[in-house]
Amino acid sequence: MARLVLASTSPYRRELLSRLRMPFETVRPEVDESPLHGETPLALAERLARAKAAVIARREPGAFVIGSDQVAELDGQPLGKGGDRTGAIAQLGAMSGREVLFRTAVCVQREGDPPRMATDTTTVRFRPLSFAEIERYVDAEAAVDCAGSFKAEGLGITLFDAIDSSDPTALIGLPLIITARLLREAGFVLP
């Protein structure tokens, strides 16, 4: 069986990929994730997914490598991870009562083959949130390592009015519908 490598050490992506019931390895891609001047959130997510897959494909010849990245977008600007309690509170406050786009790009690459790329855009409508609600959420669920400072698979779901997506796993960090399709297109045999 061909080797499968996830170019990420994200516990969220690892858990999602494990749902496909295939053995895989995880490798940290060591890619600079700084946005380029004037780069849109969509272009940033796609560039980083492609770079993560490419760097690991060069190091792991013959392996099918999955690179993925997610960028939250508010008013055309990228939102990173909250980083700490203060940052998370500020992010959630900025998103209160607003629509936020989550661009999740996936790239499947095998050394010598062309990269296969696709992107999911999930729209999240946040309900109006009071400062006290935001503080309670941030104190209840440590999500400072997540784009947008929430966990949709946990208590963060209570922050929303609606989610619009073609893939329910995209918002968590790895759209499995897209990932499975790209793997099949690349010649990887799924269970």
**Extents of the domains making up the chain:** 4-186
113 catalytically annotated = no
pLDDT of residue 117: 97
pLDDT of residue 79: 87
Residue in 69, 139, 161, 164 annotated catalytic: 69
Gap between the Cα atoms of 83 and 20, Å rounded: 30
pLDDT of residue 118: 97
pLDDT of residue 169: 94
Cβ count within 10 A of residue 191: 5
Answer whether 142's CB lies under 8 Å from 82's CB: no
pLDDT of residue 106: 98
Q: Exposed e or buried b for every residue in 85-106, given b needs 16+ CB within 10 A? A: eeebbebbebbbeeebbbbbbb
DSSP 79-110: E-B--SHHHHHHHHHHHTTSEEEEEEEEEEE-
Q: What is the pLDDT along the chain (191 residues), one digit of tens a residue?
A: 789 999 999 999 999 999 999 999 999 999 999 999 999 999 999 999 999 999 999 999 999 999 999 999 999 999 888 899 999 999 999 999 999 999 999 999 999 999 999 999 999 999 999 999 999 999 999 888 888 899 888 899 999 999 999 999 999 999 999 999 999 999 999 98
CATH 3.90.950.10 correct for 4-186: yes
- β-strands 99-109, 116-126 pairing: antiparallel
Answer whether 63's CB lies under 8 Å from 100's CB: no
Three-state DSSP class for residue 50: helix
CA quadruple 176, 59, 50, 187: dihedral, nearest 10: -50
Burial class of residue 14 (count of CB atoms within 10 Å of its CB; 0-12, 13-18, 19+) = middle
